[in-house]
Amino acid sequence: MTTETVEITFADHTLEDLHEIATARPRLALAADVAEKIAEGARYIEKIQFQDRHIYGVNTGFGSLCETRIDPSAMSALQHKHLVSHACGIGEVVPERISRLAMLVKLLTFRAGYCGISLDVVGRLLDLWNAGVIPAIPQKGSVGASGDLAPLAHLALPVIGLGRVYRDGELVDAAPVLAELGWKPITLRPKEGLALTNGVQYINAIAADCVVRAGRLVRTADVVAALSLQAFSCAETFYERILHETSRHPERGVVAANLRTMVEGSNHFTLPGSNVAKEDPYSFRCVPQVHGAVRQTYGFARTIVERECNSVSDNPLFFPEHDRVILGGNLHGESTAFALDFLAIAMSELANISERRTYQLLSGQHNLPDYLVPVPGLDSGLMIPQYTSAALVNENKVLCTPASVDTIPTCQLQEDHVSMGGTSAYKLMQILDNCEYVLGIELITAAQAVDLNKELRLGPASQRVYDEFRSVVPFLDVDRQQSLDIEAARTHVRAQSPAWAAGLA
């Protein structure tokens, strides 16, 4: 962790802000006016909790039990039981970075003061963060409405001394860690258990992480495609500025400009292997159109997820200044689910067109040898990495089937329409992982083709990319175990994508 302290204020955060905080792990603190707003909300709960009326989540049961009144003496136990009963997540535990993002986005909901949670609970979440004790969240179990109930219950369990946590990169039980730190489990007040589990901060956290990763990959794809088009001796026409000035899609012009940056100074279009008609395959010639469309979808998802992360996601909400308790649907994740499903389709297509370029480079055309190996036949060269790429692209096509088109009623039909955004979220994580591999395989293939395209002169920007990569994965002169090369290429893509993204529009 850094020694820097970041204050949580009322200001909006970009997704890069959130990603940087989750990655750099500074200390967190509440701005004074935020702390007062939270305290005001908690005081309002204390004021109304014993009134003779149904106040959902304060003196009633949950879901379809909303008309069941709870005895005042049991209202604290109700909140404890709520966390314990709702902690039903299963599967692999999400990375610590995602848990941190979920904590951070939850704190952004609490800062408005409308959730009725106390400074004691918020302070404990800050203590956990600042001590590097991060709740462990199983990946599966959210239907993306009513809040991310199961994942967020696991996020909240350490507040009451239960559950598991990350500490120093290891997964351990929370209770002994809290005892070591001298922290007693917190006794929850009315509404606090519900405030901790309601809302879609879990899927919004995954969405924030995925959108940042996707933003880097859309630029990385331009870098890798530029290397491929030079290696394939493509024409220079399809990325010309004047062509893209005819389009009303500015994203296409951005991609074309990136390609021009990467290929400037290259002689690829003058080589004997060039298509004399300048009609290259669509996987090259339509890069601005396809990558541009992916960027459009990324931009849509970014806008939606950024709005969601800065919004208040909970139910009910308490407005002390109006003396009102308002029941509504701010716990529904449909906006995020749609954005995640649409982005999954787009990123699947980004991998799809990358695999097609890989295939073309291996086709024995444009004065390149079959499978990009000096002695094809004796050696299979890069034949099988393309199979791996095809398998991942197929998996992506299955995974990008929208989860949000489905709903399965829950809670005795009280919650009869849900977003299924939890499925949308973890599917997208896998698609992005696969996309990194597919782009890594294209990079292996493009670099190999560059080496075998003897008369090719790369543009200086592409030459730097090539040189960096060749320090990681050497030329394939004879067959070797290429799973190692693929893993190295994927690691290189992941490591370099922030720098590549920073260097391009």
User: Each residue of 1-38: pLDDT tens digit?
Assistant: 667 999 999 999 999 999 999 999 999 999 999 999 99
Q: How far apart are the first and last CA of the chain?
A: 31
Which amino acids are annotated catalytic?
Answer: 56
Distance, CA of 141 to CA of 149 (rounded, Å): 8
| Neighbouring residues of 223: CB distance < 8 A, sequence distance ≥ 6 | 258, 262, 462, 465, 500, 504
pLDDT at 1: 61
Provide the 3-class DSSP secondary structure of residue 387: helix
Q: Any idea what DSSP says for residue 80?
A: H
Token pair of 501 as six digits: 């993204």
Q: Which long-range contacts (CB under 8 A, 24 or more apart) does 464-469 make?
A: 465/223, 465/227, 465/262, 465/500, 466/227, 468/492, 468/496, 469/443
pLDDT at 435: 98
pLDDT at 75: 95
Distance, CA of 287 to CA of 108 (rounded, Å): 39
Q: Any idea what DSSP says for residue 135?
A: E
Q: Could you give all domains of the chain from N- to C-terminal order, each with its CATH number?
A: 5-196 (1.10.275.10), 206-318+330-503 (1.20.200.10)
> Is the CA virtual torsion 46, 52, 55, 61 positive or negative?
positive
Token pair of 247 as six digits: 């389009």
Token pair of 310 as six digits: 């800065």
Distance, CA of 39 to CA of 107 (rounded, Å): 14
**pLDDT-flagged residues of the chain (< 50):** none
Q: Let me know: does 227 contact 447? Beta carbons within 8 Å.
A: yes
